[in-house]
Structure 1
Amino acid sequence: MRFHGWASLITAALMSTALASSPAHAVGGGGVKGGSNGQGTISASASQSRIKVTQISGPTSGKRGTLSSTDVNWKPPPCWYEPVFSPAQLKDFAENNGNGDAGLRDGWYGSKLWTDHFKDEKDAITIFTSPSTVKGYKNYNLGKDGYFWRGVAPDVVSIDDTSLCSRLMFWVPAGQIPKVENAPTPETLADYAYNKIKVPTTSVELKPTAKSTVKIPTWVWLDKGTFREVKVRAELPDTGLWAETTAKPVALHLDPGTPDAETIPASGDCTINDDGSIGEPYEKADADKTPPCGITYLHASNGTPYQLKASITWQISWKGSDGSGGDLPDGTFETTQDMNVQEIQSVNH
């Protein structure tokens, strides 16, 4: 039997029959091929979720990036439980690999650790998990329909309380969601998908294009269709759980890059029109008009361009497999582009 980490050594010293335990994040993210149910590659690391996220609408090409939540206090759940092994997969893993995470805080190194508990019915005695003594299983539950579940934390380092989702891997019959704290829900999947949404990074159109002029409005716009809804679907295999999370563009916010400027409208927020456009394209006949979306610079940039920031606000909503749904905090994506401003009080239309 091979032990890993100080916690395992203490366990071994106190109880000769105990199974080794160490913080799960110390274990590498090794993988193991799927078992008899043909699910493909599964992970032996508790930092790897099996949630599958697929984009089902919205642009898929060009430069794209992830959203930043407008609510600085909002965070997706740090961890949850999900199915990891079928009986056949666990047998294959335990007898041919045996290095991985038996729980969010329990990294087991060595096949005997796995076979003792999951094949030979030996109770597992751990330091970090609750309950600390877990009844063993007979022959990996082969012949039974279900899965062994384990806590998963995609960013285990950031979890303030690592006791969350720390139960040792446990059995759940097929078609059931375990009645434990931090069991997955459609909202869990929606929250997880938030950071998987990719939105376009298109820069805004400007007129004048080369240089703006002090005290003459610069028109800002985006053509229709540039921004469209982005919808992603997050599914947790072998649970029947899914959620669709939709990001809808609702506004453009302009930050001129200097306090010596005025935005149009004054708030700097340009709404998105029904056809998906923002503002209005500049026409020669508009020389004496005020743009619906724009900026008036009050001082020249004097060789060092201002950094115009254009931030799109995306409204986020979701619906789930059980009919649930709701809103998540708005997200933003910001792009920056140079703005040169000249003193000459004329402009070539």
Structure 2
Amino acid sequence: MKPWRTGLLVIATSLVAAFWAPLPASAFGESDTRGEAEGKQIAASVSQSGIKVTQIGGPTGGKRGTLASVDVNWKPPPCWYEPAFTPAQLKTFAETNGEGNVSIRQGWQGTRLWTDHFRDEKDAANYFAAPSTVAGYKNYNLGEDGHFWRGVAPNVLGIDDTSLCGRLMFWQNAGQIPDVPNAPTSKTLAEYAYDKIKVPETEVELRPTAKSTVNLPTWVWLDKGTFQEVKVRAALPNTGLWAETTAKPVALHLDPGTPDATTYPASGDCTINEDGSIGTPYAAGRASEAPPCGITYLRATGGSPYQLKASVTWEISWPGSDGTGGNLPNGTFESTQVIDVQEIQSVNR
């Protein structure tokens, strides 16, 4: 019977093929992770990658957040292919569950669709990528060493090209990366890890600490131990692929929260010193000096404190298992501190 569309579903009698959106993770059990015991694989939604990201360097406690790329046009890869099932895992899944994604835009509900194609060698239609018809497999390729691969997309609906990573799940021998467009690389993992990096909040040291004074500098600095490199390792199981993505702090930008202020330097960009610190700590007797990193407020707050924004720029680099490496766009992380400014003509030194 020819399928017909209802919303996001294509229905064929009692068998259902869901298009344009991955089935929810709940369709596969309570877990959305891979790595279950042989024969008991739980297949995650195609919006869930099997890439494992582990922080291997830098602070892990305190308040942290993700980076925003300084290049607004840069985005991580929208999709790629990953190993999904061994033959034994696919047999168990197909014959006891049979509800899941066979590609990033095509879901099969009902064991017959899975057993027809992956056990009984029947061809299957691929509605969103070439080839439009895919030859079937014999008995799930049991006895062979390898995996069935499938497209993965963190945001399926955000992919403009409907054919991108749209192949039906296909076989690849063990120890090999498929020779197809959008096959994973170390760079894929490095870019995926970009959004997983957690950096510490930017809470700068200020002097004076309680209140600043109109026309007298507020010194700003960060001790060398405050900001360290953050390194994460991303690995894709059953491929040998990995990448280590490192975020290194390289500059602090100050936004005083009002146009009635002067920043030091004038750009508001305080660079990292050779020892890893930023700026210079205030010392007694230097209250009237222009600091290497700081702000002079020209108007009192008048009961409504200024919102001092401090953002650290992080330089991103990576090496990978395939011998490649390089840089990704710098990232920034911003935090806000409340600052009061009083209008008096003296200050304790």
Q: 1:6–1:22: 8 Å Cα contact kept in structure 2?
A: no
d(CA) in 2 for partners of 1:144, 1:24? 32
Where does residue 61 of structure 1 map in the other structure? 61
Where does residue 212 of structure 2 map in the other structure? 212
Where does residue 159 of structure 2 map in the other structure? 159
d(CA) in 1 for partners of 2:24, 2:10? 22
Describe the shift of the 1:264–1:333 C-alpha distance in structure 2 as closer, same or farther (beyond 3 A): same
Describe the shift of the 1:149–1:193 C-alpha distance in structure 2 as closer, same or farther (beyond 3 A): same
Where does residue 257 of structure 2 map in the other structure? 257
1:242 alignment partner, SS class: strand
1:45 alignment partner, SS class: coil
Normalised to the residue count of structure 1, the TM-score between the two structures is 0.93
Cα deviation 1:207-260 (Å, max 9, x = unaligned): 111111111000001112100011111000001111111100000000001111
Describe the shift of the 1:307–1:156 C-alpha distance in structure 2 as closer, same or farther (beyond 3 A): same
2:53 alignment partner, SS class: strand
| Residue 89 (structure 2) pairs with residue 93 (structure 1) | no
Describe the shift of the 1:9–1:328 C-alpha distance in structure 2 as closer, same or farther (beyond 3 A): closer
Where does residue 46 of structure 2 map in the other structure? 46
Where does residue 27 of structure 1 map in the other structure? 23
Describe the shift of the 1:329–1:218 C-alpha distance in structure 2 as closer, same or farther (beyond 3 A): same
Q: CA shift at 1:127, angstroms?
A: 2.5
2:300 alignment partner, SS class: coil
CA RMSD of aligned residues (A): 2.3
Q: 1:147–1:172: 8 Å Cα contact kept in structure 2?
A: yes
Q: CA shift at 1:28, angstroms?
A: 1.1
Describe the shift of the 1:8–1:158 C-alpha distance in structure 2 as closer, same or farther (beyond 3 A): closer
d(CA) in 2 for partners of 1:251, 1:87? 51
Describe the shift of the 1:126–1:291 C-alpha distance in structure 2 as closer, same or farther (beyond 3 A): same
Where does residue 284 of structure 2 map in the other structure? 284
Q: 1:105–1:129: 8 Å Cα contact kept in structure 2?
A: no
1:117 alignment partner, SS class: helix
1:95 alignment partner, SS class: helix
1:21 alignment partner, SS class: strand
Describe the shift of the 1:42–1:51 C-alpha distance in structure 2 as closer, same or farther (beyond 3 A): farther
Aligned residues: 344
d(CA) in 1 for partners of 2:346, 2:142? 82
d(CA) in 2 for partners of 1:259, 1:77? 39
d(CA) in 1 for partners of 2:229, 2:145? 40
Where does residue 110 of structure 2 map in the other structure? 110
Cα deviation 1:152-205 (Å, max 9, x = unaligned): 001112112221000000000001111111000100000000000000004101
Q: CA shift at 1:70, angstroms?
A: 0.2
Describe the shift of the 1:191–1:211 C-alpha distance in structure 2 as closer, same or farther (beyond 3 A): same
Q: Does 29-38 or 285-294 show the bigger shift?
A: 29-38
Q: CA shift at 1:95, angstroms?
A: 1.0
User: What letter is aligned with 1:174?
Assistant: A
Q: CA shift at 1:38, angstroms?
A: 4.5
Describe the shift of the 1:35–1:246 C-alpha distance in structure 2 as closer, same or farther (beyond 3 A): closer
Q: CA shift at 1:42, angstroms?
A: 4.3
d(CA) in 1 for partners of 2:118, 2:4? 19
Q: 1:35–1:88: 8 Å Cα contact kept in structure 2?
A: no
Alignment of 1:186-197 (within 5 A): 186-197=186-197
d(CA) in 2 for partners of 1:87, 1:143? 8
Q: 2:40–2:93: 8 Å Cα contact kept in structure 1?
A: no
Q: 1:256–1:306: 8 Å Cα contact kept in structure 2?
A: yes
d(CA) in 1 for partners of 2:192, 2:259? 38
In structure 2, the gaps of 5 or more residues are: none
Alignment of 1:298-317 (within 5 A): 298-317=298-317
1:92 alignment partner, SS class: helix
1:326 alignment partner, SS class: strand
